Structure formats: C-alpha cells, structure tokens
Homo-oligomer: A and B are copies of this chain.
Amino acid sequence: MTDITSRRDPHAPGVPGVPAISLRGATKRFATKDGSAFTAIRDVTLDVAPGEFVAVVGPTGCGKSTTLSLVSGLEPASVGTVEVAGQPVEGIPDGVGYMFQADAVLPWKNVLDNVALGLRYRGLRRADAEARARDWINRVGLGGFEDRYPHQLSGGMRKRVAMAQTLITEPTVLLLDEPFGALDVQTRELMQDELLTLWSGSGAACVFVTHDLTEAISLADRVVVMTAGPATVKDVVTVDLPRPRRVEEIRLTPEFIQLYKRIWDSLREEVEITRARGASRVA
C-alpha cells in the first residue's frame, strides 16, 4: 500500500473548527402511495471535519444512501438542518463529489468522455480535460478501454469509470456509496490505495458507505454504525490505528480484532432487529 501522509493536512480547505459536513437532527420522510409518510432516516446528528475519513455501516435498507443524498443536496431534509462547510445545503453545495450506489455513467459517452465530464462541465479545454481523464483511467486500471461504451464493460469496470469520474473533480466533500462492492479483492485494494492517496493529499472530508467491516476499519478515522431503519446514528467507533496502515498486517493485531468485534456486535443487533421486524410484520 502507498504511504499515506498525515491525516490532518495543514492545507486542508475549509475554515478550521467549522465541520465540512454537519447534520443536526436530520429526518427524511418519503410519501408513500396511500398518502402516509415513510421515515427513511430519523434524527441523524453527525459532524465530519475537513480531512476526516468516516465510514458508515448499517443493515441493508436502513437509510445510508438517503443520508448521503441529504448531504449532497439532491434531497431536502424533512426536518433538521444539513450544512456543508458551514452553509445550509440548498441545491448542490460546491465541491461535493458523490459516487452513486447505482450505475450513473452516461450510456452515450465512451469511457474517456465519461471520465472527462466533470472537467468539461467546469469549463476546461477538451485537450486538458482528456489528458487528465486518461491519467485517471489508468489509475483505475482501465487503460485501453477509453473508447468503449458503458454497455460494453463489465459491472466492475463501470464502477471504476464512475469512481474516476467522481475523483477527477477533486471534491472537498467526497461521498462514496459502496464503491468497491463489485470488485475482486485485489482490484478493490488497489482502488482503496488510489482513494487514500487522493484523499490524504487533499484534505477532503470523506463519507464512505460500505458493508465490509475490514474495509471500513482499514480506511476510516471513525466508523459510524447506523441503527435499523429508520436509521439514526447508533454508535461511533474511532479507529485509532496509526497511518499509513497495511491492511494485511493490521488485520491480525488485537486492536483491529477488538474494533472489528465491537462494530460487529453493534451492527448484528441492528440487523437482527431489521430481520425480526420484517418477520413480525407479516405474522
């Protein structure tokens, strides 16, 4: 793994003391067909400092993606406040990068154009944008596939295109929704490396949704465990392992195992609640 520099970068953007992301009692309800409201997340309060890496874990369907959509400004909160860099979120805040859980690359643009998209939107000249896009395509291991269209790629390759598309804009608030789920173990580690390299240099705040606890612990400064839906923050575990970390080494250390166990127990409770609720509702 790449050497990772100090996680508190002195050049980090954002006013010191002002959290990059701040959720205060954020609740999101969706209208359902019969007119009643379905609460997806409830009273979520969470601050993420500039330059901090937070991993979010929680039972499936609890509300992790919904939380990210509030931070990104794509959905307004029903109750509570959401702030990015100290400003209430209205529309898309500046500097937010969001890699969606679903496939979101443009089917009518090839890999090169898809990756260059954010730069083109920011008004870069085509040649410059493409040069940087090529660099990113190589970093995610897709060199040679520049002129393929998304439907000609495998699921994992599309994910990596989306990754490059998001990272190329060098966001200061980076939201990643299960980015590496469709990758093989090794590629996943390579991508994790890439991500850490970018992040550590930039001082960006990063929120990383994953189901892989090992991944969560090895990447994050803090791991947030969410409750069964409607989700709220159940537990926050600070990962005090020194950086740079070498996953293969640390995963056998007692600290790692203890952290893993703590998160695992916390999460299991929630999953069981989710499960029991599903079963009882039908009974």
Q: Enumerate chain A interface residues (CB-CB to B < 8 A).
A: 30, 32-33, 38, 57-65, 101-103, 134, 137-138, 141-145, 147, 152-157, 160, 178, 181-188, 190, 211-213, 264, 267-268, 271-272, 274-275, 277-282
Are B185 and A213 in touch, CB under 8 angstroms?
yes
Known interface pairs A138-B279, A144-B278, A279-B138. Does A59 touch B271 (Cβ–Cβ under 8 Å)?
Answer: no
Are B142 and A187 in touch, CB under 8 angstroms?
no
Which single member of B60, B137, B155, B212 contacts A102 (CB below 8 Å)?
Answer: B155
User: Which residues does chain B contribute within 8 Å of A30, judged by CB atoms?
Assistant: 152
In the bound complex, how far is the Cα of B218 from the Cα of A117, in angstroms?
A: 42
- Can you tell how many copies of this chain the complex includes? 2
Which single member of B190, B211, B277 contacts A144 (CB below 8 Å)?
Answer: B277
**Least distance between A37 CB and chain B CB atoms (Å):** 13
**Least distance between A116 CB and chain B CB atoms (Å):** 15
Are A182 and B211 in touch, CB under 8 angstroms?
yes
User: Which residues does chain B contribute within 8 Å of A61, judged by CB atoms?
Assistant: 153-154, 156-157
Are B138 and A60 in touch, CB under 8 angstroms?
no
**Least distance between A177 CB and chain B CB atoms (Å):** 8
Are A155 and B186 in touch, CB under 8 angstroms?
no
Are B181 and A181 in touch, CB under 8 angstroms?
yes
Residue of B nearest to A275 (CB): B141
User: Which residues does chain B contribute within 8 Å of A157, judged by CB atoms?
Assistant: 60-61
**Least distance between A239 CB and chain B CB atoms (Å):** 17
**Least distance between A267 CB and chain B CB atoms (Å):** 7
